[in-house]
Amino acid sequence: MDVKLKRPLNELDATEIVSKIAVGEVTCEAVVRDCIARIEAREGVVKAWVNFDQKRALDQARALDRAPARGPLHGVPIGLKDTIDTCDMPTEMGSPTYRGNRPRSDAACVALLRRAGALILGKTATCEFAGSAPPETTNPHNVAHTPGGSSSGSAAAVADHMVPAALGTQTGGSILRPSSFCAIFGYKPTYNTINTMGTWPAACSIDTIGWLARSIDDIEMLTAVLRMQAPQPPRPLSRVPRIGVWRTDLWNTAQPETKAAVEEAATKLGKAGATVRDIELPDAFTGLHIVARSTIGFYERAACMASAWDNQREMLSPQMRRYIENGHKISRDEYVAGLRRLDECRALLSGVFAKFDVLLAPCVPGEAPKGLDATGDPSMQAIWTALHTPTMTLPTHRGPNNLPVGIQLVAQRYDDDHLFACARWIWQKIGMPEMVGVRRSR
């Protein structure tokens, strides 16, 4: 067989792994071996994993190969952000305060993945407590640049073909930003529709679990399992999507590559037959990223971190201490006003989504910034996290340094399935499959 034609199994999508294992074309062990080989080759520079045990992974793979198919993800390796509890590996929250922490139970999402036959390959690096102090992880497209965060390791591992998909969490922009920076698909579900039991709370009223993966099909299949649903074949749209382009009040902060990504996507989608219209949202939406990040984010962070602040302050990063100090300065009245304002905006979105299937919006200010000391600006993602809407980023563009820049799609709350269908239509019209993840280097 021509070696060049044989794709390493670590490059398969989760849906492909499922099909190939089902017909006996590959084994789970073979897939895991190729993932391990990729990790061995690249982890020294990418630094995506904080807990990865080859032997445990291979033992589990062999056990799955021996067993009858357990569920719809039988044999699929998954990475888990290290803020998600696992009973068989440490869960360290990216913080020395949780070093060696062994949760009593798997998080709900982990238990549901295992029930479906998935294999937990390991824990991926996270910013401290899903905040902003970064791990050592690099951007696999250019290791001098941040991969984004706080789901840094999940994004880098998936982009670098170490694992087909990984779970992350988003409170500001911790799934979509690293996905956009690393050229993969990122999905943040409607708030409170994927169970968060056993995941670290950064800000309870907005925390959401979601997926980082290399295909929309994968995200849809994996999400079904977390919903306790049987995965369904993708449903096509019954008509072309109506797309509202909202540039947001952050447009002036966007770099040329982000502006180009949104404008080009809008133009191409219009040419492809979609109804594309520019929209402006009411004044209540102005400055919403500040409500999301500061008023809600800092205030709730200060509460979540109360024990660490009082007992282990010296073990917290300067970034985290600043967050908490900021939280202490927010009055209860400001906080409640922020919650009310978000409610008001959610109500206003009903009118918007009566006219549009999805909104197209900027996802990140631009390419991943150079340096590993910070993970980039979450403002453009944080608006939607706080509004509880489902969002996705698609890896559609590149910037001046040939680093990825994704676009962001937003749907109405609970319309996650419709978001998938629209995203698939849009990807078919403007996506370039060779853009996804790092250039394949064999």
Active site residues: 81, 150, 174
3-state SS assignment for residue 185: strand
- In the list 20, 115, 321, 322, the residue contacting a copy of itself (rule: CB under 8 A) is 115
Strands 404-410 and 358-362: antiparallel
CB of residue 107 to a copy of itself, shortest distance in Å = 8
Q: Which stretch binds a copy of itself (CB under 8 A): 28-36, 191-199, 271-279, 390-398?
A: 191-199
Binding mask 23-52 for a copy of itself (x = CB under 8 A): ------------------------------
287 Rama sector, left if φ>0, alpha if ψ -120 to 50, beta otherwise: left
Of 209 and 243, the one with the shorter C-beta distance to a copy of itself is: 209
308 Rama sector, left if φ>0, alpha if ψ -120 to 50, beta otherwise: alpha
CB of residue 420 to a copy of itself, shortest distance in Å = 14
CA torsion angle for 376, 381, 382, 383 (degrees, to 10)? 140
∠ CA 86-215-210, nearest 5°, is 35
- In the list 193, 253, 255, 401, the residue contacting a copy of itself (rule: CB under 8 A) is 193
Q: Which stretch binds a copy of itself (CB under 8 A): 132-140, 159-167, 221-229, 266-274?
A: 221-229
Which amino acid, residue 172? G
Which strands, in side-by-side order, build the sheet including 119-124?
49-52, 119-124, 77-81, 165-170, 208-213, 185-188, 391-398, 404-410, 358-362, 242-245, 275-278
CB of residue 198 to a copy of itself, shortest distance in Å = 8
According to the binding rule CB under 8 A, does residue 340 interact with a copy of itself? yes
User: Facing residues of 397 across strands?
Assistant: 405
Binding mask 345-384 for a copy of itself (x = CB under 8 A): --x-------------------------------------
Which amino acid, residue 75? G
According to the binding rule CB under 8 A, does residue 328 interact with a copy of itself? yes
Which pair of tokens denotes residue 35? 């993932």
According to the binding rule CB under 8 A, does residue 63 interact with a copy of itself? no
Of 22 and 347, the one with the shorter C-beta distance to a copy of itself is: 347
What single-letter DSSP state applies at residue 74?
A: T
Mapped to the 3 state alphabet, what secondary structure does 365-405 carry?
Answer: CCCCCEECCCCCCCHHHHHHHHHCCCEEEEEEEECCCCCEE
Of 147 and 198, the one with the shorter C-beta distance to a copy of itself is: 198
Q: Which stretch binds a copy of itself (CB under 8 A): 120-128, 287-295, 327-335, 363-371?
A: 327-335
Of 339 and 374, the one with the shorter C-beta distance to a copy of itself is: 339
Size of the site for a copy of itself (CB under 8 A): 48
According to the binding rule CB under 8 A, does residue 74 interact with a copy of itself? no
According to the binding rule CB under 8 A, does residue 133 interact with a copy of itself? no
Q: Does residue 150 have a cis bond before it (omega within 30 degrees)?
A: yes
Distance CA 57, CA 77 (A): 9
Which amino acid, residue 111? A
- In the list 343, 373, 402, 428, the residue contacting a copy of itself (rule: CB under 8 A) is 343
Please name the helix (run of DSSP H) or strand (run of DSSP E) that holds residue 324, with its range, or none. Answer: helix 318-329
According to the binding rule CB under 8 A, does residue 170 interact with a copy of itself? no
Helices (H), 252-317: 256-271, 288-290, 299-304, 306-311
CB of residue 153 to a copy of itself, shortest distance in Å = 21
Distance CA 181, CA 155 (A): 9
CB of residue 221 to a copy of itself, shortest distance in Å = 14
Distance CA 428, CA 442 (A): 27
Q: What residues contact 78, with CB distance under 8 A and at least 6 apart?
A: 113, 118, 119, 120, 121, 163, 164, 165, 166, 167, 222
CB of residue 105 to a copy of itself, shortest distance in Å = 5
According to the binding rule CB under 8 A, does residue 229 interact with a copy of itself? yes
Of 58 and 303, the one with the shorter C-beta distance to a copy of itself is: 303
CB of residue 249 to a copy of itself, shortest distance in Å = 25
Binding mask 398-437 for a copy of itself (x = CB under 8 A): ---------------xx-----------------------
Q: Which stretch binds a copy of itself (CB under 8 A): 54-62, 164-172, 335-343, 426-434?
A: 335-343
Chain-centre distance for alpha carbon 278: 27
- In the list 22, 45, 197, 432, the residue contacting a copy of itself (rule: CB under 8 A) is 197
Report the interface residues with a copy of itself, using CB under 8 A: 87, 97-98, 101, 104-108, 110-112, 114-115, 192-193, 195-198, 201, 204-205, 227-229, 299-300, 302-311, 328, 331-332, 336, 339-340, 343, 347, 413-414
